[in-house]
Structure 1
Amino acid sequence: MIILEFDYVKIFDNRRQGDSVFLADELATGLDNEGLEDEIDENPGRYLRLPTKFEIHEYHIMEEFIQTLKGERADRLEYAIQGRGAFRRFKDMVGRMGISQQWYDFQAEYYRNLAIEWCRDHGLEYTE
């Protein structure tokens, strides 16, 4: 499972213990990390930062999905993702076209492939 970085929390894989740790932005959240930031900085090989939402480009995923379609469907979705509000218009249009499940399946497979690639890039074993 890929865990995304939230706006005020960074997530790291603790390679030694096999779990994840959450590093909050103390100014934004008011939470105290109790020395975790220093621990991460002092042990770079132990903690591996998971991908952020900015590294997983949702817009690109929508474009890739559109390329799997043909004709009017592709044209309508291509138009829908132009400009401000693209994500909402895309989701609405997919629903109106009756291809929501096709989109969700595509998106899940895309995330799966990203996760596998990320694990391979970092020398991590994974199970399906």
Structure 2
Amino acid sequence: MASVPREGATKERGRGSAMPIAWDDILTAFEFVSVGDSDNSAYLCRETGEMLWHSAFGGEFDELPDDIDDGAKYLALPDPRDLDLGKPLVMRFADEELADRYDEVAQIFSRRGAYRRFRDLLTREGVLDKWYAFEAAAKEKALREWCAENGVAVEG
């Protein structure tokens, strides 16, 4: 699942990426890191533009280099909690679209299995598609802001 270094990659200066990284590569890596409570991680090599994929569960993923913690060379992709895309996002949506059910949503998220029950509520209220659009827009905005803050030039 590892991507190959991009042709024409050059050594970076400072903390920015050496070259633009395709938005789809960033988004796919973010989704990989976001899977459940897994121990998946993805790292962007700032020098080559290569994405390194790793899972604690094994499989055909990359062996991480010894210097993976070198922030000038590698950048770990965030997970949704790092970008406030978990419960805070749900509560913003509830405030905007389900104001009369806000307390119920808060109660749902006080126990395990919240997302399943939340989807059930959204389906009953007829706003599931609105949630998916809201979530996708918030994810893209937060991830693009994260890229900008970390000097990652995004293409697309």
Asked if these proteins are the same fold (TM beyond 0.5), I'd say yes
1:29 to 55, 58, 69: 58
1:61 aligns with 2:61: no
Aligned to 1:98: 126
Aligned to 1:108: 136
| TM-superposed deviation, 1:121 | 0.9
Moved over 6 A (4+): none
SS at match of 2:97: coil
Task: Verify the 8 A CA contact 1:8 1:29 in the aligned structure 2.
Answer: no
| TM-superposed deviation, 1:32 | 8.2
| TM-superposed deviation, 1:74 | 3.7
| TM-superposed deviation, 1:77 | 3.2
Aligned to 2:109: 81
| TM-superposed deviation, 1:109 | 0.8
- Aligned alpha-carbon RMSD (Å): 2.6
1:9 aligns with 2:40: yes
| TM-superposed deviation, 1:31 | 6.8
Task: Verify the 8 A CA contact 1:23 1:37 in the aligned structure 2.
Answer: no
Task: Give structure 2 stretches of 5+ with no counterpart.
Answer: 1-25
| Per-residue deviation, residues 24-82 of structure 1 (Å, max 9, x unmatched) | 33xx4377855x330424x4312110002442441111011111125434454344333
Relative to structure 1, the CA distance from residue 21 to residue 53 in structure 2 (aligned partners, 3 Å threshold; closer, same or farther) is same
Higher helix share: 1
With the length of structure 2 as denominator, give the TM-score of the two structures: 0.65
Aligned identity (percent) is 26
SS at match of 1:21: strand
| TM-superposed deviation, 1:108 | 0.6
Equivalent residue pairs, number: 124
Between the aligned partners of 2:109 and 2:122, the Cα distance in structure 1 is: 11
With the length of structure 1 as denominator, give the TM-score of the two structures: 0.77
Relative to structure 1, the CA distance from residue 76 to residue 44 in structure 2 (aligned partners, 3 Å threshold; closer, same or farther) is closer
| TM-superposed deviation, 1:96 | 1.2
